[in-house]
Amino acid sequence: MQSTMITAVFLPLAVGIIMLGLGLSLTPADFRRVLQYPRAVLVGLICQTIILPLICYGLAKAFGLSPELAVGMMLLAASPGGASANLFSHLARGDVALNITLTAVNSVLSLITLPLLIGLSLAAFMDQEKTVPVQFGKVLQVVGVVIIPAVIGMLIRDRKPALSERLDRPVRITSAVLLAVLVIAALVQQRDMLGGAILAVGGAALTFNLLSLAIGYFIPRMVGLDRRQAIACGMEIGIHNAALAIAIADKVLGNQTMAIPPAIYGILMFFTAAAFSVIINRRKD
């Protein structure tokens, strides 16, 4: 599918605004929380960076996904928590400070893990002679769209706290709207193949989404983390950054078929995260 104004301009702009909003909620103290919650952060990162990619690989094989769709699924597994994870964690009465810490640490680690998992996914699912290798310059381009706006947001909060407070709510609302529009736009662009794509990857995306939420909550509980920390981990791990995965599929790999799993996942996760919040808050320890 040919590149359009949406993918060429709106896509990086949307990701940048989302990351700016995230940066407005971050301070250096959030990074220092890693020392306060070492076990919680370690458990969350192990689930996110090791367990989920292995499960996603198994699901791609089990559902017999095409190579492009399989790589699109792996992009989801490699992406850090989405900007909505903090909101859902708050609604579910989770430890939002831990969410922010996990998002911050995971975003930094993704500079290494994303290119690594992209390369491994291409090697595992696609003929390397028919793919464009991930170029360092293009990876830096995506990093610029993701990291620089977040740093700008942090600087605004640090140096202009009053301005940061005024911007926080409208930027959060704008981020949520842009994320929804981005997912819908990706689905509209793929409308010719959407019916078949949902049949091909919908079951895998839903299964991966439910497993991500379950793993993110129950593994922390099994190793002794408290309920609020487990909820934070569940939301952080279950709500992947679909916008980032779509951006990498389109702007780095140049294959918009790979954007279909993140787009479908990006819709499903709002419903499943809301249901997860209700179920968890009805449970008794």
Q: What residue ranges define each of the domains in the chain, with the CATH number in brackets?
A: 5-279 (1.20.1530.20)
| Nearest-angstrom CA–CA distance, 235 and 217 | 8
| Nearest-angstrom CA–CA distance, 21 and 26 | 9
240 backbone dihedrals φ, ψ, rounded to 5°: -80, 160
| Nearest-angstrom CA–CA distance, 131 and 216 | 33
- In the numeric block, the tokens 């997860």 are attached to 276
pTM of the model: 0.72
- Give the bridge partners for 81, in sequence order: 240
| Nearest-angstrom CA–CA distance, 151 and 83 | 15
pLDDT at 153: 83
The answer for residues whose C-beta is within 8 angstroms of residue 271's C-beta and 6 or more apart is none
pLDDT at 58: 93
- In the numeric block, the tokens 């919040």 are attached to 277
21 backbone dihedrals φ, ψ, rounded to 5°: -60, -40
- In the numeric block, the tokens 């996760």 are attached to 269
Helix, coil or strand: residue 95:
coil
**DSSP H helical segments within 6-135, as ranges?**
11-24, 28-36, 38-46, 52-62, 67-78, 85-91, 96-125
DSSP 8-state code for residue 248: I
Q: Which two tokens stand for residue 113?
A: 């893990």
Helix, coil or strand: residue 22:
helix
Count CA within 13 A, CB hemisphere, residue 11.
27
| Nearest-angstrom CA–CA distance, 187 and 1 | 12
CA-closest candidate to residue 23, choices 162, 138, 166, 172:
172
| Nearest-angstrom CA–CA distance, 41 and 27 | 17
pLDDT at 89: 80
Tens-digit pLDDT string for the chain (285 aa): 444 555 556 666 766 776 777 677 777 776 676 667 688 888 988 988 899 999 999 999 999 888 889 999 998 888 877 667 777 787 788 887 788 778 777 777 777 787 788 878 888 887 654 444 444 554 565 566 667 787 888 888 888 888 888 887 787 677 667 766 766 765 666 566 566 667 778 889 999 999 999 999 999 999 988 888 899 899 989 888 777 788 778 777 777 788 888 888 887 887 888 888 888 877 655
